[in-house]
Amino acid sequence: MTFAPHATTPIALVTGASRGLGKATALHLAERGVDLVITYRDQAAQAQEVVAAAEAMGRRALALRLDVAVSAGFEDFAGRLREGLAATWQRERFDYLVNNAGVGVHAAFAETTEEQFDMLVATHLKGPFFLTQRLLPLIEDGGRIVNISTGLARFTLPGFAAYAAMKGGIEVLTRYLAKELGPRGIAVNTVAPGAVETDFGGGAVRDNAQMNRQIAAQTALGRVGLPDDIGGAISMLLAPDNRWVTGQRIEVSGGQSI
């Protein structure tokens, strides 16, 4: 399935797309005919590799640096994005925003530090809140927003209390955005991945064979998720056939802990 014809080619902004789920999402969107703006924090070379891969598919793509944990930089980012849209596409707005960028912290509740907590707030809750707010003038009416949560907001595993709490906040925020942005025709949904084999959180799910087997045994489809599982689901959610879906939490976990 490809996207239906647009008056102009759709453009997606995917945060944290130099690796992992963000990279998979960006490349799945490129395969479906969507142009890309991707962001990275430190991995400029990896981000340019994603741009090159998208361009090899015939797409136009741009990489911009952004630290979602530093809201003071959002005004500057919006300016650079506006310049990039004008120079690359001769457009003032983009179509799809995927709030993906994030970091993981694994710490027991009793041992979670205030510094860790504040970092998670800034990255996973305050950042998406105020970045989306700042970018609203640049999102097309009829566009889409996808916020990334986690299966850990539904099921519980020790060591993720702070991280999951932030994602629970994102899920509530998604419903409010869907309500408030509905008059502009903007659909807003949450995708909640289960355990995925990436370098997120130190790569424990990918590299710890015992953990991997335990999670697979608790998953209906019998394995741990892969980045392509999540990227494919997000790109499907952004397809025109799903334009009537909004305010929803969609878990993509292979049936983990059901």
Give the pLDDT confidence of 38-49 residue by residue, as tens digits.
999 999 999 999
The 3-class secondary structure across 143-157, one letter per residue, is EEEEEECCHHHCCCC
Query: How far is CA 200 from its chain centroid?
Result: 13
- The stretch 119-146 carries a mean pLDDT of 98
- Is the pLDDT confidence value at 199 over 90? no
- The stretch 180-187 carries a mean pLDDT of 98
Mean pLDDT of the chain: 94
Q: Name the residue type at position 165.
A: A
- The stretch 90-111 carries a mean pLDDT of 95
Q: Residue holding tokens 């789920």?
A: 21
176 is catalytic: no
Domain 11-196+227-248 of CATH type 3.40.640.10: no
Residue 1: pLDDT band with limits 50, 70, 90: very low
Question: Which is more confidently placed, 198 or 207?
Answer: 198
Question: Which is more confidently placed, 213 or 50?
Answer: 50
Query: Helix and strand tally (H, E) in the chain?
Result: 9, 7
The 3-class secondary structure across 162-199, one letter per residue, is HHHHHHHHHHHHHHHHHHHHHHHCCEEEEEEECCECCC
- Is the pLDDT confidence value at 61 over 60? yes
State pLDDT tens for residues 22-37: 999 999 999 999 999 9
- The stretch 166-170 carries a mean pLDDT of 98
State pLDDT tens for residues 64-73: 999 999 999 9
Cβ–Cβ under 8 Å, residues 225 and 195: yes
State pLDDT tens for residues 151-164: 999 999 888 999 99
Identify the active-site residue in 40, 96, 163, 176: 163
CB contact set of 100 (below 8 Å; sequence gap of 6+): 14, 15, 16, 17, 21, 22, 25, 148
Residue 115: pLDDT band with limits 50, 70, 90: very high
- The stretch 169-188 carries a mean pLDDT of 98
